[in-house]
Every structure is written in C-alpha cells, then in structure tokens.
C-alpha cells in the first residue's frame, strides 16, 4: 500500500518538534482568524506568508494549510454566538446556530459544529489520500490542451457558481483576465501594459492584490460599519450534544462531508457553495423542512461538515495538477513556488516529504482543533470582545509589512493599497472579489497553455478535440455553459 507507507512517512515528518509546533501555530492562528469577523483565511495566509521564508518548505506548508482549515473551524463560533460569520463559509451556520443559541442551546451548537468539523475533516482526508495519487498518475497525460479545456470549465464555473449577480461576477472575471495580461507574455516574451516600469514586467503581484482585495478592504468596510456586539450574557454550558442531537446529526454530517469534498475538487468553487448546498440538501431530505431556521441541529451539522471537507477536496487539484481552485489555494500555490517547489504531477515523486507531511499534518491538525475548540470556547468569546480600535491598526501594520517583505519594494505596498480601495468599493456595490482573483490566476494559465498547445500542434485546433481528456472537459464546459445560458434564453423567448 503506497498510501499507507506514504502516510507513515508523512507522520514521521510531522512528529518532528518544529513541525508539530508550526502545525499548532497554524491551526491556532487559523481558529483566531476564523473567530474574528473581518479577516478571512486568504488575507491571513497572505499576511503570514513572509514569516515562512525562513522555514523548511514542508514546515511552511504545514503551517499555512493549518491556517486554512483552522479558519473553517473557528468561523462557526461567531456565527453561533453573535450571528456574524467569522469567515464567509460560516454564513449558513448563522441560520440555525444563532437560533439555537437564542434558545439557550449555544453549547450543543458549538460542540456539534466542532465535532462535525472534526469528523468531516478526518474522513475527507481519506479521499485526498487515495484520489491525489490517482490524479497524479494521470498527470503525465496532462499537457497544454488538457489544461486549456480544464481551465475553460473552471472559468465558466467561476461565473456560474457565484452567489450574487451573475453579470457582476462575469464583469469581475473580465477585470481579472485583463489584470492577468499585464507583464511579459509567456510565449513570445513581449511586454504588455508595463509602460516601461520594471516592477510591472513580471505582471501585477498576486499577493499584494489578494492582501488588498481581501485584507485591507475588510478593514475599510469594518471601519465603516458599527458592529453590534450582542454577545450572549448567559454562560455556555453542556458543550456535548445529547443522544438525540447525535441521532439527528449523523446523516447530515456524512452527506455534508461527501458533498463538501467533491465541491472542493471543482475549480472555481469555494466553501460557501459547499455549505449552502449542504443546507439546501438537508432541508430537502428532512421530514420536517419547516423547522429549518428555527434552531435545529441538522442545520449546523451538515454545513459545518461540508465546509470542513472542502479544503481536503481543494488540495487534490493543487497538489496533483498545480491548479488552485480558490483564492486560498492560490496563495498556497504561491508559497510553494516561493520555496522552489512546483506543485504538479511530480510533486509526489519529487517532493514526497511535502505531499505526505501535508496530509499527515491535517490529521494531527484536526485533533488539535477539536482540543482547541471544545475547551477553549470561552477564550474565543473573549477574543470577539477586543475593540476594533485596537485590532485594526495591528492588522493594517501586518498587511503593510507583509506586502513589503515579499519583494522589499514600496511598489507592492502601493499595489496593495490601491486594491484595498478597489476591494472596498467592490464590496460596497456588491461585486464579488473571488471571480476577479480566480480569473486573474486562471487567465494567464489559460493563455499560456492555449498558445503553447497551438505551437505543439503546429497551429492546428484539432489538438483540443483529438485528445480524449481534453475533449471530455470541453463537453463538460459546453454543458455548463448551456445551463448558464438557458434561463436567459427562456426569458428572451418569453418576452418575444
């Protein structure tokens, strides 16, 4: 069993004291980020990226992925206690979690959220463990035409699965694509939109853009809003769910886990989609759908499971093909590259330490998270009470330092601040930043592979249809596009 041997090898690396320590730091910071409204995992990852420069690559990735799944755990706490999602994926948990808290059942809600997260996080790792090597074996077959068709699928999904206006998502994706054309073109080496500025020759920096759009803009919009700190006065008791709670939650957790995992694998999706779909599914299969939203435990267990199995799913395309499926994964990709590791088909053979230790660390991290979340709920509640007046200046300083550290240039700070303002305005007018960032990442990948595929085929477009994997993705893309456009066509016909 390659998987078992590999996992044992991974555990061997994770149990080194420094790796255990950084795994702990990762999940701790992740939970903190999750608990604090206003800073998501992408922003936190971007902030802490420079800290990892001095670490061994495996240690760095262990810590950064800990932040990602840690944030998924922590986000539920504020959703349940104060009806404010700590990070985007926990929006759904507010619906029934907060109602449970109002009924005096905050304890079981918090407990079940943590337990569901733990179960989903652990089970979904098996999926990652067995599917990633299979994907990677296919990967030698993966050449430019396959990437083109796959990214095409992803780009369509980006605008298809956004939660707000589809037109706005499409517009943001276009802005991201344009932004991605800045810099030296990947096939002929021609500079585009660089205006002779050396800083723009390599393109606009991904990390300053993400820090601006996700970090700085959050600070701005939080400063604008007056947050209502309606924290529950009564003491939280009985964290352990009752037997009836367990009975009600078992199937939602299992369904949520499977759903979250597969949604995570698809490029262009994020964990909000997974948890929303899980909630909708539970409501559909429930014998008492009318009770959803009044504070029932199924409404917490399912979505929490889904948003914690999502990250495991998202690691598959990242580790085996080098394709990030969401903004957080894009940052992990960037951090791997900074450490000189190119994720892709050969990651498992060329850097087995990275691959297996990341997976093993996620098992350990999940155990740590359970331990952090159940007994330390009281501490996290205190953290929410920190006034923003103290909190945001600190985050701002970290953002400034972080963007400067990457290239030691003031230019990157400027880029970050500009995108902070842009991101703030986008939030204000309900434009999502995720389609922008994904198009910004996938666009240049698409262009590069598309043009390279045509070089490989001596100019013939047949290369995209002749190769089976590529053809299959193209068919999938067509189907998706049809689904997206169908309602629009229908509307036009109705109008006529």
Which residues here bind other proteins, judged by CB under 8 A? 53, 140-144, 184-191, 194, 196, 198-202, 338-340, 342, 344-346, 349-350, 406-409, 411, 448, 452, 455-456, 458
8 Å CB contact between 117 and 308: yes
Nearer to other proteins, 83 or 194 (CB): 194
| Residue 191 φ/ψ, nearest 5 degrees | -85, 135
Nearer to other proteins, 53 or 483 (CB): 53
Nearer to other proteins, 5 or 202 (CB): 202
Smallest separation, CB 42 to other proteins (Å): 19
Nearer to other proteins, 137 or 382 (CB): 137
| Among 300, 317, 305, CA closest to 264 | 317
Nearer to other proteins, 138 or 476 (CB): 138
Smallest separation, CB 158 to other proteins (Å): 22
Smallest separation, CB 101 to other proteins (Å): 45
Nearer to other proteins, 202 or 224 (CB): 202
**3-class secondary structure, 196:** coil
8 Å CB contact between 181 and 445: no
Smallest separation, CB 288 to other proteins (Å): 54
Long-range pairs, 407-416, Cβ under 8 A, ≥24: 407/205, 409/199, 411/199, 412/205, 412/207, 412/208, 413/208, 415/204, 415/205, 415/208, 415/209, 415/212, 416/208, 416/209, 416/211, 416/212, 416/216
Tell me how far apart the 2 most distant CA atoms of the chain are, in Å.
72
Q: CA-to-CA distance for 365 and 27, rounded, in angstroms?
A: 7
Q: CA-to-CA distance for 27 and 15, rounded, in angstroms?
A: 16
Smallest separation, CB 25 to other proteins (Å): 19
Smallest separation, CB 344 to other proteins (Å): 7
> H-type helices in 57-141, by residue range?
57-82, 91-102, 106-138
Burial of 490 (0-12, 13-18, 19+ CB in 10 A): exposed
Nearer to other proteins, 31 or 449 (CB): 449
Q: CA-to-CA distance for 449 and 446, rounded, in angstroms?
A: 5
Smallest separation, CB 415 to other proteins (Å): 11
């Amino acid at each position: 069993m390659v998987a078992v041997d590999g996992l044992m090898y991974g555990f061997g690396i994770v149990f080194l004291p420094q790796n255990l320590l950084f795994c702990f730091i990762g999940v701790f910071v992740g939970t903190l980020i999750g608990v604090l409204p206003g800073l998501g995992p992408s922003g936190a990852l971007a902030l802490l990226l420079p800290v990892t420069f001095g670490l061994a690559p495996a240690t760095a990735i262990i810590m950064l992925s800990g932040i990602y799944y840690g944030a998924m755990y922590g986000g539920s706490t504020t959703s349940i206690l104060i009806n404010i999602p700590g990070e985007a994926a926990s929006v759904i948990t507010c619906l029934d979690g907060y109602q449970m808290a109002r009924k005096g059942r905050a304890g079981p809600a918090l407990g079940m959220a943590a337990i569901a997260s733990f179960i989903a996080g652990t089970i979904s790792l098996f999926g990652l463990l067995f599917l990633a090597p299979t994907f990677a074996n296919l990967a030698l077959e993966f050449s430019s035409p396959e990437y083109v068709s796959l990214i095409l699928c992803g780009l369509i999904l980006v605008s298809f699965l956004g939660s707000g206006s589809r037109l706005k998502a499409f517009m943001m994706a276009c802005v991201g694509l344009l932004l991605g054309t800045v810099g030296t073109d990947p096939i002929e080496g021609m500079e585009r939109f660089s205006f002779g500025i050396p800083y723009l020759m390599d393109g606009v920096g991904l990390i300053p853009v993400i820090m601006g759009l996700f970090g700085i803009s959050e600070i701005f919009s939080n400063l604008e809003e007056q947050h209502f700190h309606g924290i529950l006065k009564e003491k939280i008791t009985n964290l352990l769910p009752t037997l009836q709670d367990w009975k009600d939650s078992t199937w939602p957790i299992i369904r949520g886990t499977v759903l979250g995992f597969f949604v995570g694998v698809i490029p262009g999706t994020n964990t909000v989609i997974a948890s929303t779909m899980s909630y909708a599914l539970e409501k559909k299969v429930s014998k008492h759908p009318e009770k959803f939203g009044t504070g029932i435990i199924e409404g917490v267990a399912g979505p929490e499971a889904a948003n914690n199995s999502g990250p495991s799913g998202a690691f598959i395309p990242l580790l085996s093909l080098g394709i990030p499926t969401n903004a957080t994964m894009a940052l992990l990709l960037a951090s791997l590259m900074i450490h000189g590791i190119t994720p892709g088909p050969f990651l498992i053979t060329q850097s087995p330490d990275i691959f297996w230790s990341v997976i093993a660390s996620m098992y350990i991290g999940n155990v740590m998270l359970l331990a952090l979340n159940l007994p330390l709920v009281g501490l996290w509640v205190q953290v929410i009470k920190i006034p923003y007046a103290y909190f945001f200046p600190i985050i701002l300083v970290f953002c400034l330092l972080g963007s400067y550290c990457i290239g030691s240039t003031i230019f990157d700070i400027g880029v970050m601040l500009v995108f902070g303002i842009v991101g703030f305005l986008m939030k204000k007018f309900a434009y999502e930043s995720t389609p922008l960032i994904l198009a910004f990442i996938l666009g240049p990948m698409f262009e590069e592979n598309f043009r390279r595929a045509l070089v490989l085929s001596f100019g013939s477009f047949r290369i995209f249809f002749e190769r089976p994997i590529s053809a299959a993705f193209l068919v999938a893309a067509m189907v998706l596009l049809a689904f997206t456009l169908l309602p629009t066509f229908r509307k036009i016909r109705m109008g006529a």
